[in-house]
Amino acid sequence: MSDSTKQVTDTGTDTERTSPQEGADVSEDTNVVIDGMTKIFREDDGSEVVAVDDITIEVREGEFLVLVGPSGCGKTTTLRSVAGLETPTDGRIVIEDQDVTGFNPRERNISMVFQNYALYPHKTVRGNMAFPLEVRNYPQSEIDERVEEAADLLSIPELLDRKPNALSGGQQQRVALGRAIVREPAVFLMDEPLSNLDAKLRVQMRTELNDLHKRVGKTTIYVTHDQAEAMTLGDRVAVMNNGKLQQIAPPQYVYDNPANRFVAGFIGEPPMNFFDVEVRQEGGDYIAECETFEVKLSEKLASDLESFDGDMDDLTLGIRPEDIQDASVAEDLVGDRNTLEAYVRLVEPMGSDKFLTLTPPDEPDNLSREFSARVSPDSSIEEDEIVTLVANIEKMHLFDNRTGENVSPI
Ligand code: ATP
């Protein structure tokens, strides 16, 4: 199945947006525009890699925008192009209403924070944070003031006289952030800044970054392959795949209204379950039928299908694991044709819920047809039994197998 290549830029908010045209002014509250950018790398053997394929993203003043997608989807190349570390093959980069496409990084009003903090080992924390200002010949009094302000903001004033090798990973990351903050740039660019930290510290630093962003209020473009990080940090997330922008919207909107099957499978953990279905009409109802169960579709999906001009026999039904429950616990949810039977391969109690790994009841060993559910901890479902589950039909999605696109308008 091919993933959708359509760029979807529904914001899920009522904020007015403009589409930048070649040479046109951008909207007033827009801070950075990646305008129709393509980046092609040419290898020595003459072959080409299209790292970024005609992407347009408008980043608003003060916004925290997360570029997220699997490894190799082009997010770092996009960020490096905004920074001036790569030259776009086509399209342009606009920062604060100025076309900076041909500018070198030092001529752009940006600060970048990388995955490896790249601190100078022989300099103290103070020296590291002061460095970007020293090379720009700021007066010493202003350097001292800004470094101390940033150190306070990051709660590291007591570390100012230490060298990086006497700091924990989290502290080093704070210093790297401090070094970016002191310049007071128009835009922060961050490339997986938390990925060298252990899981617990990552979550803590995520909260700190959120908090820092609220206080500093600067436009930030943040790259990660971690969808959970994208969901928690972004005002909006831009989901990329194969160099193409798949969808850009607030995180909850993307979760609730994925533009295509790729986005549906990428955002959400555990990922959405997909079932090949044929949809038929029965009276006024629409019934989705897969090999082992059938469900009645919601009124909303039925109405969306009215205007669908594709093949009703060639669809994929998407149900998130959290939208499949133990029918004996979630009795309220049980309605007209919304239950299914499954064989339980694995039960993983997580405390807040139980993860079930399931297969069709008549093919318990067919791992290619595995799917999952995230049921209430009150469920007493056990492994190796056949159980009845109930699906929340209001939360289901249908995707067109030809294009991968969501049948519902996004
Ligand atoms: P990751 O999360 O692994 O860093 P990414 O989404 O940031 O991945 P990019 O680093 O932007 O992806 O790479 C996009 C594509 O461009 C990949 O196929 C990569 O191999 C290719 N690419 C990146 N830099 C170069 C380069 N300098 N020369 C050739 N190909 C490159």
Residues 293 and 149 in one domain: no
Average pLDDT value over all residues in the chain: 90
Q: What is the mean pLDDT of residues 206-230?
A: 91
Residues 191 and 293 in one domain: no
pLDDT digits (tens, 9 = 90+) for 139-180: 999 999 999 998 988 888 999 999 999 998 888 988 998 999
pLDDT digits (tens, 9 = 90+) for 73-91: 999 999 999 999 999 999 9
Residues 226 and 90 in one domain: yes
Quote the ligand 1 centre to 310 CA distance (angstroms).
35
**What pLDDT, on the 0 to 100 scale, is given for residue 28?**
53
In a domain, 405, yes or no: no
Residues 27 and 44 in one domain: yes
Using a pLDDT cut of 70, give the percent of the chain over it: 93
**What pLDDT, on the 0 to 100 scale, is given for residue 11?**
39
- The SS3 of residue 381 is coil
Q: State the residue for tokens 């290549």.
A: 5
Q: Count the domains in the chain.
A: 2
Residue 186: which CATH number?
A: 3.40.50.300
Residues 209 and 319 in one domain: no
In a domain, 352, yes or no: yes
Residues 258 and 113 in one domain: yes
Measured in whole angstroms, how far is the alpha carbon of residue 219 from the centre of its chain?
A: 17
pLDDT digits (tens, 9 = 90+) for 325-352: 999 999 999 998 999 999 999 999 999 9
Q: What is the mean pLDDT of residues 101-124?
A: 89
Which range of residues forms the domain containing residue 19? 3-264
Residues 311 and 388 in one domain: yes
Quote the ligand 1 centre to 97 CA distance (angstroms).
28
**What pLDDT, on the 0 to 100 scale, is given for residue 155?**
85
Using a pLDDT cut of 90, give the percent of the chain over it: 76
pLDDT digits (tens, 9 = 90+) for 284-332: 899 999 988 999 999 999 999 999 999 999 999 999 999 999 999 999 9
Nearest CA to ligand 1 atom 21: 51
**What pLDDT, on the 0 to 100 scale, is given for residue 5?**
38
Q: What is the mean pLDDT of residues 88-110?
A: 94
Ligand 1: nearest atom to the Cα of 43:
29
What is d(CA 35, CA 52) in angstroms, rounded to the nearest whole number? Answer: 12
In a domain, 324, yes or no: yes
In a domain, 252, yes or no: yes
Residues 255 and 287 in one domain: no
Quote the ligand 1 centre to 257 CA distance (angstroms).
28
Of 241, 264, 287, which marks where a domain is finished?
264
**What pLDDT, on the 0 to 100 scale, is given for residue 174?**
87
**128, 67 Cβ separation under 8 angstroms:** no
Of 205, 233, 264, which marks where a domain is finished?
264
Residues 53 and 186 in one domain: yes
What is d(CA 186, CA 191) in angstroms, rounded to the nearest whole number? Answer: 17
Residues 170 and 216 in one domain: yes
Lowest mean pLDDT among 19-28, 180-189, 201-210: 19-28
Higher pLDDT, 238 or 3: 238
Q: What is the mean pLDDT of residues 11-24?
A: 34
Is residue 7 pLDDT above 70, yes or no? no
Is residue 208 pLDDT above 90, yes or no? no
Of 196, 229, 264, which marks where a domain is finished?
264
**What pLDDT, on the 0 to 100 scale, is given for residue 410?**
84
- The SS3 of residue 167 is coil
Higher pLDDT, 350 or 30: 350
**What pLDDT, on the 0 to 100 scale, is given for residue 273?**
97
Angle at the Cα of 272 (from 266 to 278), degrees rounded to 5?
120
Is residue 8 pLDDT above 80, yes or no? no
**406, 326 Cβ separation under 8 angstroms:** no
Ligand 1 pocket list (CB less than 6 A): 41, 49, 51, 69, 71-77, 225
**What pLDDT, on the 0 to 100 scale, is given for residue 251?**
96
In a domain, 108, yes or no: yes
Ligand 1: nearest atom to the Cα of 41:
29
Residue 393: which CATH number?
A: 2.40.50.140
In a domain, 406, yes or no: no
In a domain, 408, yes or no: no
Residues 340 and 197 in one domain: no
In a domain, 409, yes or no: no
Q: What is the mean pLDDT of residues 25-32?
A: 66
Residues 232 and 333 in one domain: no
